[in-house]
Structure 1
């Protein structure tokens, strides 16, 4: 079974500031012993982007927006059901 969850950062992030993505709490049902669970970030390439940003900068007093997108290294880890 495969499913996707979309997470949105609820507020803007200041330039140069560190931030943590919102936490997810998932209720999962284990498969058979020996099966694996592999959470991944979405995105596999330029035709299937996994993250997008809309940065805004102020230039001579005028706010200017742009866009940025990319794809991360998708695998977060693997858990084997025992």
Structure 2
């Protein structure tokens, strides 16, 4: 199955790198693509539960899906994740 999620706090290629690296670690998640200009992440997965896992992971690293509360803590995490992604590139 293929799913696209709109996410918050996506700013740059550093963010993109971090998200791809974290989601690639998840079981059953593959073919991950991000479109910065639309703030979307698209991925293929095996089950509907995998979508929940991806949403939870995105939220934990500071990129909550649209519709989820975007707290100051999540915004701060996204800045840290962004910087980390730039360093790892």
TM-score computed with the length of structure 2 as normaliser: 0.23
Q: Which of these two proteins has the greater Rg computed from alpha carbons?
A: 1
Q: Larger helix proportion, structure 1 or 2?
A: 2
**Relative contact order: is structure 1 or structure 2 higher (C-alpha 8 Å, sep ≥ 6)?**
2
Q: What is the TM-score when the length of structure 1 is the normalising length?
A: 0.24
